[in-house]
Amino acid sequence: MPTVGLLYPGHSAEDDFPALENRIGGAVRLPVVITSVGEDAHRVDALLDLGSDARLADGAAQLAAAGPDAVMWACTSGSFVFGPQGAAAQASAVAAAAGVPASSTSIAFVDALRYLGIRTVAVAASYPDDVARRFVDFLRAGGAQVVSMGSHGIYTAAEVGTLGPERVIEMVTAADHPDAEAVLVPDTAMHTLAIIELLEAAVGKPVLTANQVTVWKGLHLLGQVPTLPGLGALFRSGR
C-alpha cells in the first residue's frame, strides 16, 4: 500500500491523519512526524522559522524509519509565506533530505485546483488578515481567481485545533461566494478530514481543506490517486 509520510508542525490536528487511515481501512499509510516549533504563532516571522530547511530536514530524518514513498510538509502557512519560488525550493529540500518525492500543502492547493479544472475560489481562513492575504497571493500566482476571503484572526495553531465541526461549517458558509466554484480551507491545524462531505453539502460545491489536499498531493506524487470515501469531490474524480 502507498505510504505518504507527513511532516506536521507541533500539536493541533495531527490526529486527523491516523483517524483517516483507520476509516479507509489502511488503503493508505499516513505516518506522522511532529516537526519542531519555535513559536506557535500565525505571524510571518514565526512561520518562516517554522518552515526552515533545518527543521524539515530533521523531521525527514525521523520519518525515514516509516519508509515513506512520498513526503508532504503538512503545513500551509509555513509554506506559502515563502512565496511560490520559495515553496518550491522548500519542497525540493525536503525531497533531497527524505530521498523520495516531496511537496507541501500550499503547492497541493494550487495543483488540486488545476486537477479539478477550478479557477474561481473563495477562501475560509482561520489566520489573521495579513497572513490570509499571503495565501490569496500564493493562489493568484498559481492562476486562481479569489472572489472572497474570510479571515478569523486566530493567532495559534493550538486554538485552531479546538474548533468543532459546527464552527468550521460556519466559517466555510460565511466565506462562500456565488461566483466561487470551490471554497478553500487552508489551515492544517483544523480538523476537517471527517467532515468534508458535510462542508460540501453546506455550500453545494467542492470544498478543499488543507489536510485533504495534503493527502491527495502525497498520493498524486506517486501516480494515480485512488477514489477514497468521505473525502469529497477531489477524491471522487479518480484520475
The whole model's pTM is what?
A: 0.92
Q: Where are the beta strands (DSSP E) in 55-214?
A: 70-73, 102-104, 120-125, 145-151, 182-185, 207-209
Per-residue pLDDT of the chain (239 residues; tens, 9 = 90+): 899 999 999 888 999 999 999 999 888 999 999 998 876 666 677 777 767 889 999 999 999 999 999 999 999 988 998 999 999 999 999 999 999 999 999 999 999 999 999 999 999 988 888 888 999 999 999 999 999 887 655 545 555 556 678 888 888 999 899 999 999 999 888 899 999 999 999 999 999 999 999 999 999 999 988 888 899 999 986 55
Q: Say whether both 124 and 177 belong to one domain.
A: yes
Q: Say whether both 67 and 128 belong to one domain.
A: no
| Euclidean distance between CA atoms 126 and 157, whole angstroms | 9
Q: Say whether both 99 and 25 belong to one domain.
A: yes
Which pLDDT value is given to residue 153?
54
Is 134 within a domain? yes
Q: Say whether both 94 and 141 belong to one domain.
A: no
| Euclidean distance between CA atoms 70 and 72, whole angstroms | 7
Half-sphere exposure (Cβ direction) of 202: Cα atoms closer than 13 Å:
20
Structural domain count, the chain: 2
Is 239 within a domain? no
Q: Say whether both 26 and 120 belong to one domain.
A: no
Q: Say whether both 174 and 187 belong to one domain.
A: yes
Q: Say whether both 8 and 102 belong to one domain.
A: yes
DSSP-assigned states of every residue in 144-171:
-EEEEEEE-----HHHHTT--HHHHHHH
44: Cβ contacts below 8 Å, ≥ 6 apart: 81, 130, 131, 134
Q: Say whether both 19 and 30 belong to one domain.
A: yes
Which pLDDT value is given to residue 160?
58
Which pLDDT value is given to residue 45?
75
Which pLDDT value is given to residue 21?
94
Q: Say whether both 113 and 227 belong to one domain.
A: no
Q: How many whole angstroms from its chain centre is CA 64?
A: 21
Q: Say whether both 193 and 226 belong to one domain.
A: no
Which pLDDT value is given to residue 126?
83
Domain that holds residue 197: 108-209
Is 36 within a domain? yes
Q: Say whether both 41 and 135 belong to one domain.
A: no
Order of all β-strands in the sheet with 102-104:
32-35, 4-9, 70-73, 102-104
Residue 52: which of 40, 63, 38 has the closest Cα?
A: 38
Q: Say whether both 102 and 112 belong to one domain.
A: no
CATH of the domain at 55: 3.40.50.12500
Which pLDDT value is given to residue 155?
44
Is 237 within a domain? no
